[in-house]
Amino acid sequence: MWDNPTWAPLVASLITIVLILVLAIVLRKVAHRVITRVVNRAATGGSITSRFRKNAVPDSIDALLHERRKQRAETMGSVLKHVASIVILGTAVLTVLDRLTIPIAPLLTSVGILGVAIGFGAQELVKDFIAGMFMLLEDQYGVGDVIDAGAAVGTVEAVTLRVTRLRDVDGRVWYVRNGTITRVGNESQGWSRAYMDVPVAYDADIVSVRVLLEHVAEEIWADGEFRETKIVEQPQVYGVEQMSDSSLVFRISAKTLPSAQAEVSRELRFRVKSALDSAGIPMVATA
């Protein structure tokens, strides 16, 4: 049977098809392995928190940033693996069909028309995915960040290519499509700022008030619990920020680690109120 010359082209085509499929599978595995290595390298990059202070930051904060890098890298790795699989296996299937003398031009035309129809029907979905990819690539926000996404304000609980899940201060969970987010305010990226305005009577001794507030700033900076885990730089007293016929408003401000501004603000209010009470300086209502 194998000596019959009519079988030779069929056997050659079969061998060629097998080789094409094997080569496609091997290329797919190699591409996935390369992508996995790149993802692992991106996920285990060096800590970026050292830029914020001379002393080392706590392990918990560094672990949070590491987890964020890992999530972003794994998401992009998953997308790249899917794209590589579609390109390599799709090319292999088309090559096999061409080898079997099956006309692929009508097939490609049909697929193109179907793709256009699906594209028109899934414009919003495609928009969400593209926005999600750029959001991850540009590291606009990640899990644990407090953001203002326009439609909702809250803590990011999950990020996918299609939606971002937020939980607001009331406990509501918001699902915001990435394609609908036109601007994002991130309160947790890099550093944050806590500040407090202190209104005192117009006839108060401004030198005494400023010295008292500077003493509060030095106290909280010397507190190891805050200096090691929440505050980046020593708090500053800016002096008189506002002035009216009934009050003077001083401002004390502190640069903090991301998402720590609320806790630092509460501590500043507590210490400033205690110091003012001890000095017998009353706070007044502002207009």
Question: Which CATH number among 3.30.70.100, 3.40.50.2000, 3.40.50.720, 3.90.230.10 corresponds to the domain 192-279?
Answer: 3.30.70.100
Question: Which CATH number among 2.30.30.60, 3.30.300.20, 2.40.50.100, 3.40.50.720 corresponds to the domain 140-186?
Answer: 2.30.30.60
pTM: 0.57
Contact (Cβ atoms closer than 8 angstroms) between residue 88 and residue 32: no
Q: Which residues pair with 165 in a beta bridge?
A: 158, 175
Range 7-121 has CATH code 1.20.1280: no
Query: Residue 212: how many CB atoms within 10 A of its CB?
Result: 21
Give the CA distances from residue 281 to residues 33, 56, 57, 101, 172, in Å, rounded to whole numbers and listed in that order. 68, 38, 37, 94, 41
Q: Where are the domains of the chain?
A: 7-121, 140-186, 192-279
Per-residue pLDDT of the chain (287 residues; tens, 9 = 90+): 455 566 667 777 788 888 989 999 999 999 999 988 887 877 776 444 444 444 444 454 555 566 667 767 777 787 788 888 888 988 888 888 877 777 777 766 766 666 666 666 677 888 888 888 888 778 788 777 889 998 889 988 888 788 899 998 888 999 999 989 988 888 877 788 888 999 999 888 999 999 999 999 999 999 888 887 788 888 999 888 888 888 899 999 998 887 788 889 999 999 999 999 999 988 887 65
Euclidean distance between CA atoms 68 and 188, whole angstroms: 12
Q: What is the DSSP string of 265-281?
A: HHHHHHHHHHHHHHHT-
Task: Report the candidate in 274, 39, 246, 272 with the shortest Cα–Cα distance to residue 136.
Answer: 39
